[in-house]
A and B are shown apart, each in its own frame.
Chain A
Amino acid sequence: MIQREAKSALRVDELTKSFGGELAVDSVSLRVEPGEIVALLGPNGSGKSTLIGCLSGRLNPDFGTVSIGDATFDRLQPRTAFAAGLAVIYQHFSLIPSLSVADNIFLGEEQRRRSGRVDRRNQEKEVQRILDQLGISVDPRTPTVSLSVGQQQLIEIAKSLRRRPHVLILDEPTASLGEQEARILGEHLKRLRESGLAILYVTHLLKEVFEIADRVTVLRDGRVALSRPVPELTRSDLVHAIAPAPRVEPPKQRTARRPGELALSLSQFSAPGIGPLDLTVNHGEIVGVFGLLGSGRSELLEGMFGVRGHAHGEILLEQKRFVPKSAARSLKSGLALVPAERGRQGIFATLSARDNVMLPYLAELGRPWWRNRRREQAEFVKTGEDLRLKPLRASSQAWTYSGGNQQKLVVGRWLTQQSRVRVLMLDEPNQGIDVGAREDLYELIRRFAEVDGRAVLFTSSDPEEAVVLADRVYVLARGRIVGELQKAEIAPEQLLHLAHDMEAAA
């Protein structure tokens, strides 16, 4: 540890980190002043996670220093980072559902009375103080399981505040939050900023940058592509910095659709948590289901896919009656699902990228029960190029890929040449991926739907996504369809208006 004078709350100097000869973070410098929110933006694979890893002490940088307050480090341990006043909040929650808010916040550092018993009263008083500071009205004795995801995220922040850190790093905190909850979180962060905390906020949503950040740093290919105060910037500045070739173009009216031919239709469909509802998807069409958190988005798709208990009502898939029974049968009938939770339901973390994509086709590519690795490899490379997978390394385990590229692996599973999927369902397709990868993904989805007779049904809680991707949108609230908008009518305000009104009215 080298002592040096530094006045920024967090200062990163020329940080460099490589993996197996490839530079993931390349001479990145960054500073966050007390009372400032800096947004860290960047496409997937740009080095965001690696940078956070170096800051939190999970990874050791090859070069460069990290200064927290007055202390400068050339390598950090998670414990020393913590002790120096740096707190990191990851996407995944570390709360124990059955414990109360206060118990969770004091987990591992319980305050004891002289008798050795946990001093609950004192803990609760302290927790109340932190919650008041954050402006959260939750009883410290509530079990965390009964809180909403947004509230849990706030409790997670409260937990890190107990140590009174100087620097707070949030890694995509809104990834699992709905629109409304994300906005509330932003308000709380602004309040924390007033108390002099320095906040580094990792995100992939441009909107959030303008809503809460004072300054923004954009990473691309491991380097700082842009670092400026937010008021000086426009939206397109950021888009340019993230994806230099302006790929974000206004969605063109696609002509491939042939309305009238139904790929999928539901009538009086119901499954646990949703319905009854009617819904149709035409050939060549990309249909969105817009809904807020808890509206039944996943329940709808999983119910149709046959992995969520008994479904009732009639489903016609390619004009044939279809009864959802199991994932394997649905796939055989040409219906595929890209689930919402990539980590838990989509990706095989320790299998190779190739296996992740080709898993459903091993028998077909073989002869027929003996695998043919050469063909697996060839097909994987072909698909990988289509997906713009980065890096295109077949044998790398999936967890080594960035979030966006992992998502490409999961979606790519149904976009290979072997795929016989006719109707592709995607549950929140843009979860945890950045602007650049999102455009890639949308392009893939559009191309999928253009092939004769195919169709796409996706859910989203992001109005922008619905606007950009969908030809037609259903609005879902409380498990029912409360509105249907044609392409020309789809607008964020309209969607949010419908969804919120119905949530409130019901």
Chain B
Amino acid sequence: MSSRDRMLSTMLGKSRGPALYQPTKTLTRWVRFGIRNAILVGLIATIVVFAILTDKFLTVANVRNILVQVSYTMVVAVPMALLLISGRVDLSVGSTLALGGVTTGLLITSGVNPILAAAGGIAAGAIVGILNGILIAYLGFSTIIVTLGGLTAIRGFVLTISSGPLLNFGEGFLEFGAGEVAGVPYLVVLAAAVLLVGGAVLAQLPNGRHIFAIGVNEEAARLSGVRVKRVLLGTFVATGAAAGLAGVMLAARLGSAPSGSMGVGFDLNVLTAVLLGGVAFAGGRGTMRGVVFGVLFIGVLENGLVLLNVSSTVTQMLTGLVLVIAAGLDVLEVRGAGSVTPRILDRADDASRTEREEAL
């Protein structure tokens, strides 16, 4: 029997003798697709379940509501995904969000033009990003320690500059939070724009590949001429600025900027969404498509459970569980495709995966 015949009989499942080949290619393919796109499958399933359980779910008003709710998360999840892919993380985005909102609030209430005030809020976030980037990328401090310290320190700073909630932002600014264009809220348009930019950076700009390269092998990236520190600094600044922007958006939506409560828990929310979207915590892997699904999934879950009058504590429990399950699926897949050792999935398959990963 020639080797070609063997190949054929393998494919047809007619192998004899000691070979233990199971002809279950189609099934495996679907299972693999399901595991790889678990978050998409989960998102669709959740939408279907909520649509059946309550007729309030699939209404134009509610969909718009969900999209507004997730817009803040989306704006920060996009650069956060870039950070994670490069092997870094920013745990301070919740406090930075508060800093952005409160800075803008203080500027407006002291008579500054709302647009300039918003720019000030974003700039405040960017400054946090610069500090994070310098400490981590240039001085080599631990990412987790710096941004965890930032989480506490920035919150303290925000409470110091504004003890009570800020109110009375004026019509123009509130219009930004409440208004819409062609039925789509400004906030959603903004989030979509950020997503597009992030997707373009990751897939279309050289820097996107550099971010991947740093996450996969930082030393090789450096020796290949990638300006590792600069790229990391840029990513931290983008994340900080995005958190500031999210703060501005939230202040405009709420019509206030409560320094103590704004953005509390937001950091972990963003991180959860990004990880749900299949971005690897260890870096080197992730897609913007996945991030979109991750963010939407959390938004849909929270919204649907509220509509069903389920307590928010249960929502929290579920979100946590989903993250762990998603991470479990991820382990299954990584063990299969393997960054180092191949086990379940074969090579050709993996090649096509790279292609897929590149498509946004």
Assuming the A-B contacts A349-B340, A370-B204, A370-B205, are A395 and B223 also in contact, with contact meaning beta carbons closer than 8 angstroms in the complex?
A: no
Q: Are B354 and A395 in contact (CB under 8 A)?
A: yes
Closest Cβ–Cβ distance, residue B324 to chain A (whole Å): 24
Cα distance A415–B343 in the bound complex, in angstroms: 33
Within 8 A of B (CB), among A360-380: 360, 362-363, 366, 369-371
Q: Are A369 and B223 in contact (CB under 8 A)?
A: no
B350 within 8 A of A: yes
Complex interface: chain B residues within 8 A of A331 (CB) = 225
Closest Cβ–Cβ distance, residue A143 to chain B (whole Å): 25
Stretch of B17-25, B148-156, B243-251, B264-272 on the interface side:
B17-25
Closest Cβ–Cβ distance, residue B9 to chain A (whole Å): 10
Closest Cβ–Cβ distance, residue A317 to chain B (whole Å): 16
Assuming the A-B contacts A18-B7, A363-B206, A400-B347, are A63 and B19 also in contact, with contact meaning beta carbons closer than 8 angstroms in the complex?
A: yes
Contact digits for A48-75, partner B, Cβ 8 Å, 1 yes 0 no = 0000000000110111110000000011
Q: Are A20 and B346 in contact (CB under 8 A)?
A: yes
A506 within 8 A of B: no
- Interface residues of chain B: helix, strand, loop or mixed (majority): helix
Cα distance A375–B3 in the bound complex, in angstroms: 38
Cα distance A349–B284 in the bound complex, in angstroms: 10
Q: Which residue of A lies closest to B352 (CB)?
A: A395
Closest Cβ–Cβ distance, residue B152 to chain A (whole Å): 33
Cα distance A307–B222 in the bound complex, in angstroms: 9
A350 within 8 A of B: yes
Assuming the A-B contacts A16-B3, A349-B217, are A337 and B223 also in contact, with contact meaning beta carbons closer than 8 angstroms in the complex?
A: yes
**Contact partner, A74, options B18, B219, B346, Cβ 8 Å:** B18
Q: Are B206 and A62 in contact (CB under 8 A)?
A: no
Q: Which residue of A lies closest to B206 (CB)?
A: A362
Closest Cβ–Cβ distance, residue A23 to chain B (whole Å): 6
Contact digits for A328-340, partner B, Cβ 8 Å, 1 yes 0 no = 1001100001010
Closest Cβ–Cβ distance, residue B93 to chain A (whole Å): 26
Within 8 A of A (CB), among B218-264: 219-227
**Contact partner, B225, options A59, A327, A347, Cβ 8 Å:** A327
**Contact partner, A26, options B3, B340, B358, Cβ 8 Å:** B3
Within 8 A of A (CB), among B1-47: 3, 6-7, 10, 15, 17-21
Q: Are B223 and A371 in contact (CB under 8 A)?
A: no
Q: Are A400 and B340 in contact (CB under 8 A)?
A: no
Cα distance A371–B203 in the bound complex, in angstroms: 8
Cα distance A251–B339 in the bound complex, in angstroms: 39
A397 within 8 A of B: yes
Q: Are B213 and A63 in contact (CB under 8 A)?
A: no
Complex interface: chain A residues within 8 A of B341 (CB) = 58
**Contact partner, B222, options A18, A327, A352, Cβ 8 Å:** A327
Q: Are A399 and B217 in contact (CB under 8 A)?
A: no
Q: Are B18 and A348 in contact (CB under 8 A)?
A: no
A137 within 8 A of B: no
Within 8 A of A (CB), among B314-357: 338-343, 346-352, 354-355
Cα distance A499–B60 in the bound complex, in angstroms: 80
Most buried by A among B7, B342, B347: B347
Closest Cβ–Cβ distance, residue A76 to chain B (whole Å): 12
Counting contact residues on chain B (CB < 8 A from A), the size range is 35 or more
Closest Cβ–Cβ distance, residue B217 to chain A (whole Å): 5
Q: Are B3 and A350 in contact (CB under 8 A)?
A: no
Assuming the A-B contacts A16-B6, A20-B346, A328-B227, are A399 and B18 also in contact, with contact meaning beta carbons closer than 8 angstroms in the complex?
A: no
**Contact partner, A21, options B17, B21, B348, Cβ 8 Å:** B348
Q: Are A19 and B205 in contact (CB under 8 A)?
A: no
**Contact partner, A346, options B15, B223, B225, B343, Cβ 8 Å:** B223
Complex interface: chain A residues within 8 A of B349 (CB) = 20
Assuming the A-B contacts A327-B223, A362-B209, A400-B350, are A63 and B204 also in contact, with contact meaning beta carbons closer than 8 angstroms in the complex?
A: no
A176 within 8 A of B: no
Cα distance A65–B225 in the bound complex, in angstroms: 48
Complex interface: chain B residues within 8 A of A395 (CB) = 351-352, 354-355, 358
B174 within 8 A of A: no
Most buried by B among A20, A345, A348, A350: A350
Within 8 A of B (CB), among A369-398: 369-371, 393, 395-397
Closest Cβ–Cβ distance, residue A279 to chain B (whole Å): 21
Cα distance A396–B349 in the bound complex, in angstroms: 9
Assuming the A-B contacts A59-B342, A349-B339, A366-B206, are A393 and B351 also in contact, with contact meaning beta carbons closer than 8 angstroms in the complex?
A: yes
Complex interface: chain B residues within 8 A of A124 (CB) = none
Assuming the A-B contacts A350-B284, A362-B206, are A396 and B347 also in contact, with contact meaning beta carbons closer than 8 angstroms in the complex?
A: yes
B281 within 8 A of A: no
B88 within 8 A of A: no
Complex interface: chain B residues within 8 A of A347 (CB) = 217, 220
Q: Which residue of A lies closest to B351 (CB)?
A: A396
Complex interface: chain A residues within 8 A of B338 (CB) = 399
Q: Which residue of B lies closest to A355 (CB)?
A: B209
Q: Are A397 and B225 in contact (CB under 8 A)?
A: no
Within 8 A of B (CB), among A157-199: none
**Contact partner, B219, options A18, A19, A344, Cβ 8 Å:** A344
Closest Cβ–Cβ distance, residue A54 to chain B (whole Å): 12
Cα distance A491–B129 in the bound complex, in angstroms: 58
Complex interface: chain B residues within 8 A of A348 (CB) = 212-213, 216-217, 220-221
Cα distance A363–B227 in the bound complex, in angstroms: 13
Q: Which residue of A lies closest to B341 (CB)?
A: A58
Most buried by A among B10, B20, B223, B352: B223
Q: Are B216 and A62 in contact (CB under 8 A)?
A: no
Cα distance A305–B225 in the bound complex, in angstroms: 11
Cα distance A339–B221 in the bound complex, in angstroms: 12
Cα distance A370–B347 in the bound complex, in angstroms: 30
Assuming the A-B contacts A307-B223, A346-B220, A396-B351, are A74 and B209 also in contact, with contact meaning beta carbons closer than 8 angstroms in the complex?
A: no
Q: Are B351 and A397 in contact (CB under 8 A)?
A: yes
Contact digits for B170-195, partner A, Cβ 8 Å, 1 yes 0 no = 00000000000000000000000000
Q: Which residue of A lies closest to B4 (CB)?
A: A23
Cα distance A192–B7 in the bound complex, in angstroms: 40
Complex interface: chain A residues within 8 A of B342 (CB) = 59, 399-400
Complex interface: chain A residues within 8 A of B223 (CB) = 305, 307, 327, 337, 339, 345-346
Contact digits for A434-462, partner B, Cβ 8 Å, 1 yes 0 no = 00000000000000000000000000000
Q: Which residue of B lies closest to A363 (CB)?
A: B206
Cα distance A331–B341 in the bound complex, in angstroms: 32
**Contact partner, A65, options B18, B226, B348, Cβ 8 Å:** B18
Within 8 A of A (CB), among B48-87: none
Interface CB pairs A-B, < 8 A, 8: A18-B10, A63-B6, A307-B222, A307-B223, A347-B220, A349-B217, A359-B226, A393-B351
5 further contact pairs, Cβ within 8 A, besides A339-B219, A346-B223, A350-B339: A352-B351, A370-B205, A395-B352, A395-B354, A397-B354
Which A residues have a C-beta under 8 Å from some C-beta of B?
A: 2, 16, 18-23, 26-27, 58-59, 61-65, 74-75, 305, 307, 327-328, 331-332, 337, 339, 344-352, 355, 359-360, 362-363, 366, 369-371, 393, 395-397, 399-400, 413
Which B residues have a C-beta under 8 Å from some C-beta of A?
A: 3, 6-7, 10, 15, 17-21, 204-206, 209-210, 212-213, 216-217, 219-227, 284-285, 338-343, 346-352, 354-355, 358
